Structure 1
Amino acid sequence: MRILVFANTPAHVHLYRHVVDRLQGEGHDVLVLTREYACTTALLDYFELPYRVYGGHGTDRYSKLRFARELGGQIRTIAREARRFGPDVVFGRGPYAAFAGTLTRTPVVLVLDDEPGDFNYAVSRPFADCILSPAVTRRNLGDAHYTFEGFKECAYLHPAVFERDEPVRDLLGVDPDEPFAIVRFNALDALHDTGLEGFEPEQRRDLIQRLSEHATVFVSDEGNDMDLEDLPAQWYDLHPALIHDAMAEASLLVADTGTMVNEAALLGTPAIRYRGTDDHEYGEFVELERADLAKQFDDYDSLREHSLELLADDGTAERWRRRREEYVADLVNLSELLVDVAESRGSIDRLSSSTRSSLQSKAALNQ
């Protein structure tokens, strides 16, 4: 079989990297189509995944006008690469995957979550043969929509696939028992981030200063806007492929971005998200809050005080470890599921009974 995968962001690379390895190991041909965005291609190189680049996406405030200008060239490249590869099934999450599948008359599998906005859903849904999403996703995307118990991050953070890289503390230069926090600032440059604001500049500085009173602080700034020269913090400068190992060792993650909050929570690290002006209700965050693995705040002062309380409490790490172990035990290994779906060419009916039992029809659940 020939499987075409769209990986447009670093999170997409992680979502599919174990799937691609498994499929290649079983003799299938796999091609990843990607764009130059943040560290996406760096991750593809690190994990030695077969890919071709169809375009770019800057980490500045990406405008709709700029997106429209570049879209034509990207579509032409995707068309050329898709025809040349001749896939038997296409994986992705939006219009690019839908276009490639329609052009090559190939089944399309979309792996979606509870992102805001309707663009990706509206454009891609009519062309999808199979839509997979976490059970906590609030949308009903029709008869082809199936849900699983877990999160898209279960493709790489499920206990069956995630292994810690023990030397990560040495690479960061922190002692075995030294508490450290990771602070992640979002560039908010994606199309669905238009108009959103996260931490304000003074809040960023204040947060770093206060956290540094309790832990070593590492800063990851997606937009490269910060100056740490007079702040008690260090840049997180390890290879981006090691971020989950670092998060698993961290005492705390604070961010105004979504995916890393989900990841930290599933790793058993206290995860705090600042919503800023984002008032969309994400099913994933609601579920992780219910499990006491993550917390969201609209108010900066409340976020800061809760973060400091967690760092000051000697029992925090053990509580989160227990909660995580109990919670993830029943979640689906998404990589395993996606391999089975790929080999069935996106047909739920062709799946084994054991694999089908891990899926629920969203339409049936809402009847």
Structure 2
Amino acid sequence: MKVFVTIQHPAHVHFFRNAIAELEADDHDVHVFAREKEMAVELLRRYDISHEVLAGTASGLSQLARVQATYEARLLRRAVQLKPDVITAIGGVAAAHVAKVTGARSAIFYDTEHAKLIQNLAFPFADAVYTPDCYTRNVGSKQVRYPGYHELAYLHPDRFTPDPTVVEDLGLDPDETFTVLRLVEWGASHDVGQGGFDDVHDVVERLEDAGSEVLITSERTLPSSLESRRATVPPHRMHDLLAFADLFVGEGATMAAESAVLGTPAIYVNTLTMGYTDELDERYELLFNYQQEDRHARALEQAVSILEGDADWQERRQRLLDDKVDTTDVILRAITGRSGNARGRTAQTGAEV
């Protein structure tokens, strides 16, 4: 088969990288197309994934619209030239449109209910939309629900073993308590009008007062007084860091979910919530959601409680793993139809993984 994989965010690289490797090992012809977004292209290079950059970065919604139009036009040109059988993506606005025009099959993955613009532009044109079974929207007959999370495509224990040398490389004592703090830029279309922490200085002070070193990873510019706490870790080693952290506190849902599936308790502070953040909170108690006006204060209270407590986080993680599948197997079946290790489950619409 000839397969197009489109990448527009660093998390997309992680999501597809194991599937890309397996497809290529099975002699499928895989073409990866990317847009400059944070560290996405850098990650593709780090993982030695051959790719073509179709568009650059964007600042603001109007510029993003122009960049997306450029990306889609160039993807269409390459599809006309190469004639793919399948085009796959997360979100997949360009992928679904180009597949529809060129006669390719589109397999779209998504897990973010509130990103309605992307869904309205992509889902009507997609052939299949794959969502975690905790996704709260009903997409209709093309929806395929599976028992997993995006993060289990690359952090399932069958796919990932954390490297403890990341702690030493950062100059930390292996016995030292440390927290990863994630700050987002609030520049995405679905982030407009949303918010997280009230005061980052207060967050750092409270965590340090509780006896934790604080390592910051931030999309936005940090105050000069906090720059020394920035985590200088290569992007492809961030998951090693999350696995060995005692706590994650942040405004980004993806990194919060990554921490949770690794067994690191996660505090998620954001006015937006998703089906998967709710499930990780309510069902597995690995992630704690804070969305209301008092989110800053309540989140810090919970963070301090975790740092001072002794809960068995790995037992909670094992319960999660017993219920969920390796999402890379779902991706491979969506693209090729091959059976993987994923345990079949009937979707709400009648489709099966």
* TM-score w.r.t. length of structure 1: 0.89
Match of 1:38, SS state, is coil
Q: Which runs of 5+ in 1 are unaligned?
A: 345-350
What amino acid maps onto 1:294 in structure 2?
L
Closer, same or farther: CA 74–174 of 1 in aligned 2, 3 Å: same
Closer, same or farther: CA 356–182 of 1 in aligned 2, 3 Å: closer
Aligned pairs for 1:288-367 (under 5 A) are: 288-290=280-282, 291-297=284-290, 298=292, 299-313=295-309, 315-316=310-311, 319-344=312-337, 352=339, 358-364=344-350
Say yes or no: does 1:208 pair with 2:204: yes
Say yes or no: does 1:173 pair with 2:165: no
Say yes or no: does 1:282 pair with 2:274: yes
Q: Contact 2:5–2:32 (CA<8 Å) still a contact in 1?
A: yes
Q: Contact 2:182–2:217 (CA<8 Å) still a contact in 1?
A: yes
Match of 1:348 in 2: none
Match of 2:50 in 1: 50
**What is the CA–CA distance in structure 2 between the aligned matches of 1:232 and 1:78, rounded to whole Å?**
39
User: What are the Cα deviations for residues 260-318 of structure 1, in whole angstroms up to 9, with x where unaligned?
Assistant: 1111000000100112xx2x4411111001211010113211111111121122x14xx
Match of 2:110 in 1: 112
**What is the CA–CA distance in structure 1 between the aligned matches of 2:56 and 2:244, rounded to whole Å?**
33
Match of 1:272, SS state, is strand
User: What are the Cα deviations for residues 100-125 of structure 1, in whole angstroms up to 9, with x where unaligned?
Assistant: 21232100000111331321212211
Per the TM alignment, residue 172 of structure 1 is displaced from its structure 2 partner at its CA by 1.5
Q: Contact 2:330–2:342 (CA<8 Å) still a contact in 1?
A: no
Query: 124, 142, 145: which is aligned to 1:144?
Result: 142
RMSD: 1.9
* TM-score w.r.t. length of structure 2: 0.93
Q: Which runs of 5+ in 2 are unaligned?
A: none
Say yes or no: does 1:9 pair with 2:2: no
Match of 2:150, SS state, is coil
Q: Contact 1:208–1:232 (CA<8 Å) still a contact in 2?
A: no
Say yes or no: does 1:64 pair with 2:50: no
Closer, same or farther: CA 164–11 of 1 in aligned 2, 3 Å: same
